[in-house]
Copies of this chain bind each other. A is one copy, B any other.
Amino acid sequence: MVQDYRELRSEGVDVVRVAIRANRYRSHTAGLGAGVLQTNLVILPESFALDFMRFCQRNPKPCPLVGVSDTGDPALFTLGRDIDIRTDVPGYNIYRDGRLSETRPDIRDYWTRDMVAFALGCSFTFERALQEAGIPVWHIDNDTTVPMFRSNIDTVPAGPFRGKMVVSMRSIDADAVEAAIEISRRFPLAHGAPVYWGDPARIGIADIGRPDWGDPAPVGAGQVPVFWACGVTPQVALEAAGVPLCITHSPGHMLITDVPEDAESPIIRPSDT
């Protein structure tokens, strides 16, 4: 029994998580979970964990860290009462020596006792806020993936982790750019304010019609291309670091947490449960 997106759309977190855990739902998670924080996922051996955590701390806009597991513990207990990081994402990418080697609907057979899981905030949070403010988000309205580009903006290195920042682009009507900046700035755990807006060439993007990841999206008359720091940045840094085995979510297939999107801190304290 494979479950349908429209069927899950009106369900709460618990029902969605059970469907994902049972591998009944394997598609993207945009709009699921009704107002809870969704996150990118990076799983690494403990020997890389301190440097990766420093990389996130130094690059909070592309890598807003919202949760870290204990070494070997798949629970991620600060993000939800019942999260099992081995099963609760609808799709995983397995990287060997920095290259994608396979995709999997769960990682029960890959999780080892030396692994640490990192959850990083994602753009879904500010995109919902833009839409609620009446600012259209083209790739959502047209059911495509946001266009992403390798920019010429350096990240701040930490140990073996380094590289250029990946940015995502959304076209905004010129008179709404200031509002879009202010709205997204309110969500520092979801990439915050844009890193740049205007002429793409200035941040090293030669052809705005040919993204490095995702689908192209038009920049209409009277619109400005606005660029946010993107959660694909850590994948580029992981390639640079040559981590022997590393696991991420599949793009768009996020971890759905129990934390409300408007929480002051993305932490569920054991005593609150």
Task: Report the minimum CB–CB distance from A131 to chain B (whole Å).
Answer: 22
| A43–B264 alpha-carbon span in the complex (Å) | 27
| A59–B270 alpha-carbon span in the complex (Å) | 12
Contact of B265 with A156 in the complex, beta carbons under 8 Å: no
Contact of A70 with B264 in the complex, beta carbons under 8 Å: no
Query: 13 A-B residue contacts at CB 8 Å?
Result: A50-B53, A50-B71, A53-B53, A53-B54, A53-B57, A53-B68, A54-B70, A70-B158, A78-B156, A154-B269, A154-B271, A156-B267, A188-B265
Q: A30 at the A/B interface (Cβ < 8 Å)?
A: no
The binding surface of chain A is classed by DSSP as: mixed
The digit string for A99-125, where 1 denotes a CB below 8 A from any CB of B, is 000000000000000000000000000
Contact of B53 with A265 in the complex, beta carbons under 8 Å: no
The digit string for A198-225, where 1 denotes a CB below 8 A from any CB of B, is 0000000000000000000000000000
Which residues of chain B have C-beta atoms less than 8 A from A61's C-beta?
Answer: 265
Which residues of chain B have C-beta atoms less than 8 A from A156's C-beta?
Answer: 78, 267, 269-270
Near B by CB (< 8 A), chain A positions 45-87 give 46, 49-50, 53-54, 57-61, 65, 67-68, 70-71, 78
Q: A193 at the A/B interface (Cβ < 8 Å)?
A: yes
Contact of A60 with B265 in the complex, beta carbons under 8 Å: yes
Contact of A67 with B57 in the complex, beta carbons under 8 Å: yes
Q: A185 at the A/B interface (Cβ < 8 Å)?
A: yes
Q: A192 at the A/B interface (Cβ < 8 Å)?
A: yes
| A271–B264 alpha-carbon span in the complex (Å) | 31
Which residues of chain B have C-beta atoms less than 8 A from A265's C-beta?
Answer: 60-61, 188, 192
- Given B65, B153, B154, B270, which contacts A57 in the complex, CB threshold below 8 Å? B65
Task: Report the minimum CB–CB distance from A81 to chain B (whole Å).
Answer: 14
Task: Report the minimum CB–CB distance from A83 to chain B (whole Å).
Answer: 14
The digit string for A136-165, where 1 denotes a CB below 8 A from any CB of B, is 000000000000000001101011000000
